[in-house]
Structure 1
Amino acid sequence: MIERHMVSTAFEIPGYTAEKSLGVARGIIVRSRSVVGSIGASLQTIFGGNISLYTALCERAREDAYERMVAQAVSLGGNGIVGMRYDATEIAPGVTEVLCYGTAVLLRNT
């Protein structure tokens, strides 16, 4: 498992040198809202502010995509990920794809 401090949106991790780039590691998750969740969120929109049901759904989707990316980086032989990014696309009404990707690298202490 790659520890969280070994994943960065930057293209380097301070104190480490990338010995080898192992390619793109990605994690994809597709989520949909439940009918009950959609009704609850619709009620929250009436009052404005944070829509906690959607926030929780987005957080879970991002975490799942992140964990899948890390697993793929490990399977490539990496112990770090640089240039990590998220992307999301609505592929159908109420169905969203969340992608987490970065470059899997083999790092060593400098």
Structure 2
Amino acid sequence: MLNTTNPSLAGQRVVKELGTVRGIVVRSRSIIGNLGAGLQTIFGGDISLYTELCERARQDAYERMCAHAAALGANAIIGLRYDATEIGTGITEVLCYGTAVVVEPAL
């Protein structure tokens, strides 16, 4: 699935706009993960446990968005964005969204 944060894809022409698509993931931090991350904060630097959790959540949201677009018949997504909201203590929603389109090579 082609995608971009821009409103258009270089070298491609939008022939059909199919609407907004999204992928949503809600994740919580585990007690064990919090303990491990707490230990990492003692030494400073990247908190790899949380980095991996965030990367996994974003990837899952992206894949769900792509599946939503594919179900509509899209071959590309433009205006791709991510958003995250803490909906409770230790519970975060990750949203990936964009506009599903059908593109073809520009002449």
Residue identity opposite 1:31 in structure 2: R
Identical-residue share of aligned pairs (%)? 61
Secondary structure, in 3 states, of the residue corresponding to 2:46? coil
Equivalent residues, number: 106
How does 1:1-110 map onto structure 2 within 5 Å? 2=1, 6-110=2-106
**Distance of 1:90 and 1:47 partners within structure 2:** 26
**Distance of 1:74 and 1:18 partners within structure 2:** 16
Stretches of structure 1 lacking an aligned partner (at least 5 in a row): none
TM-score normalised per structure 1: 0.95
Stretches of structure 2 lacking an aligned partner (at least 5 in a row): none
TM-score normalised per structure 2: 0.97
**Distance of 1:93 and 1:38 partners within structure 2:** 12
